[in-house]
Amino acid sequence: MDTSLCPRFEKAMKILGQRWTGLIINQLLNGPQRFCTVEAAMPISARVLSERLKDLEQEGIVNRKVYPETPVRIEYSLTEKGLALRPLMEEISQWGETWVDIEETEKTNI
Protein backbone atom coordinates (compact mmCIF):
# COMPACT_ATOMS: atom_id res chain seq x y z
CA MET A 1 0.00 0.00 0.00
CA ASP A 2 1.43 3.38 -1.05
CA THR A 3 1.21 5.80 1.84
CA SER A 4 2.90 8.69 0.00
CA LEU A 5 0.66 11.67 -0.60
CA CYS A 6 2.87 12.92 -3.40
CA PRO A 7 6.01 10.89 -4.13
CA ARG A 8 7.71 13.59 -6.25
CA PHE A 9 7.18 16.25 -3.59
CA GLU A 10 8.38 13.84 -0.92
CA LYS A 11 11.56 13.06 -2.89
CA ALA A 12 12.20 16.75 -3.60
CA MET A 13 11.90 17.54 0.11
CA LYS A 14 14.22 14.66 0.96
CA ILE A 15 16.86 15.98 -1.46
CA LEU A 16 16.56 19.64 -0.44
CA GLY A 17 15.96 18.88 3.23
CA GLN A 18 19.39 17.37 3.84
CA ARG A 19 21.47 19.52 6.14
CA TRP A 20 23.55 22.11 4.25
CA THR A 21 22.06 21.25 0.84
CA GLY A 22 20.01 24.45 0.52
CA LEU A 23 22.98 26.57 1.55
CA ILE A 24 25.25 24.81 -0.95
CA ILE A 25 22.75 25.35 -3.75
CA ASN A 26 22.32 28.97 -2.72
CA GLN A 27 26.10 29.45 -2.75
CA LEU A 28 26.41 27.91 -6.23
CA LEU A 29 23.73 30.26 -7.56
CA ASN A 30 26.59 32.80 -7.57
CA GLY A 31 28.27 30.82 -10.34
CA PRO A 32 30.88 28.05 -10.68
CA GLN A 33 33.11 27.66 -7.64
CA ARG A 34 35.95 25.55 -6.40
CA PHE A 35 35.48 23.25 -3.43
CA CYS A 36 37.55 25.48 -1.13
CA THR A 37 35.41 28.53 -2.00
CA VAL A 38 32.18 26.75 -1.11
CA GLU A 39 33.76 25.33 2.04
CA ALA A 40 35.01 28.77 3.13
CA ALA A 41 31.54 30.28 2.66
CA MET A 42 29.90 28.14 5.36
CA PRO A 43 30.77 26.35 8.59
CA ILE A 44 30.75 22.85 7.12
CA SER A 45 33.30 20.05 7.28
CA ALA A 46 35.05 19.02 4.08
CA ARG A 47 33.68 15.50 4.47
CA VAL A 48 30.05 16.62 4.69
CA LEU A 49 30.48 19.11 1.84
CA SER A 50 32.00 16.40 -0.33
CA GLU A 51 29.09 14.05 0.47
CA ARG A 52 26.47 16.69 -0.29
CA LEU A 53 28.14 17.67 -3.57
CA LYS A 54 28.27 14.00 -4.62
CA ASP A 55 24.58 13.57 -3.71
CA LEU A 56 23.65 16.69 -5.68
CA GLU A 57 25.75 15.52 -8.62
CA GLN A 58 23.96 12.15 -8.61
CA GLU A 59 20.62 13.96 -8.60
CA GLY A 60 21.69 16.02 -11.63
CA ILE A 61 21.60 19.30 -9.68
CA VAL A 62 25.34 19.97 -9.56
CA ASN A 63 27.94 19.58 -12.28
CA ARG A 64 31.55 18.72 -11.39
CA LYS A 65 34.08 19.87 -13.97
CA VAL A 66 37.68 18.72 -13.79
CA TYR A 67 40.26 20.88 -15.57
CA PRO A 68 43.34 18.96 -16.75
CA GLU A 69 45.83 21.34 -15.20
CA THR A 70 48.65 20.94 -12.73
CA PRO A 71 47.53 21.01 -10.04
CA VAL A 72 44.12 19.68 -11.06
CA ARG A 73 41.36 22.27 -10.74
CA ILE A 74 37.80 21.17 -10.03
CA GLU A 75 34.81 23.49 -10.21
CA TYR A 76 31.25 22.89 -9.14
CA SER A 77 28.30 24.57 -10.79
CA LEU A 78 24.56 24.16 -10.98
CA THR A 79 23.08 22.30 -13.91
CA GLU A 80 19.92 23.49 -15.65
CA LYS A 81 18.01 21.42 -13.09
CA GLY A 82 19.90 23.15 -10.28
CA LEU A 83 19.44 26.62 -11.74
CA ALA A 84 15.69 25.93 -11.89
CA LEU A 85 15.80 26.12 -8.07
CA ARG A 86 16.67 29.85 -8.16
CA PRO A 87 13.05 31.09 -7.81
CA LEU A 88 12.47 28.66 -4.94
CA MET A 89 15.64 29.78 -3.15
CA GLU A 90 14.69 33.44 -3.65
CA GLU A 91 11.21 32.79 -2.24
CA ILE A 92 12.62 30.96 0.78
CA SER A 93 15.02 33.86 1.34
CA GLN A 94 12.16 36.35 1.15
CA TRP A 95 10.03 34.24 3.47
CA GLY A 96 12.92 34.09 5.93
CA GLU A 97 13.39 37.87 5.82
CA THR A 98 9.70 38.37 6.53
CA TRP A 99 8.93 35.62 9.01
CA VAL A 100 12.06 34.24 10.68
CA ASP A 101 13.24 35.84 13.89
CA ILE A 102 17.01 35.25 14.16
CA GLU A 103 17.10 35.66 17.93
CA GLU A 104 14.29 33.15 18.42
CA THR A 105 15.97 30.73 15.98
CA GLU A 106 19.22 30.87 17.90
CA LYS A 107 17.40 30.22 21.19
CA THR A 108 15.70 27.10 19.86
CA ASN A 109 18.84 25.84 18.04
CA ILE A 110 17.10 25.39 14.68
What is the per-residue pLDDT for 102? 84
pLDDT in tens, the chain (110 residues): 455 679 999 999 999 999 999 999 999 999 999 999 999 999 999 999 999 999 999 999 999 999 999 999 999 999 999 999 999 999 999 999 999 998 755 655 54
Residue extents of the structural domains in the chain: 7-101
Sign of the dihedral through C-alpha 66, 82, 28, 22: negative
Secondary structure (DSSP) of 15-81: HHTSTTHHHHHHHHTT--EEHHHHHHTTT--HHHHHHHHHHHHHTTSEEEEEE--SS-EEEEEE-HH
What's the CATH architecture for 7-101? Answer: Orthogonal Bundle (1.10)
Across the beta sheet with 62-67, the strand order is 33-34, 73-78, 62-67
pLDDT at 108: 56
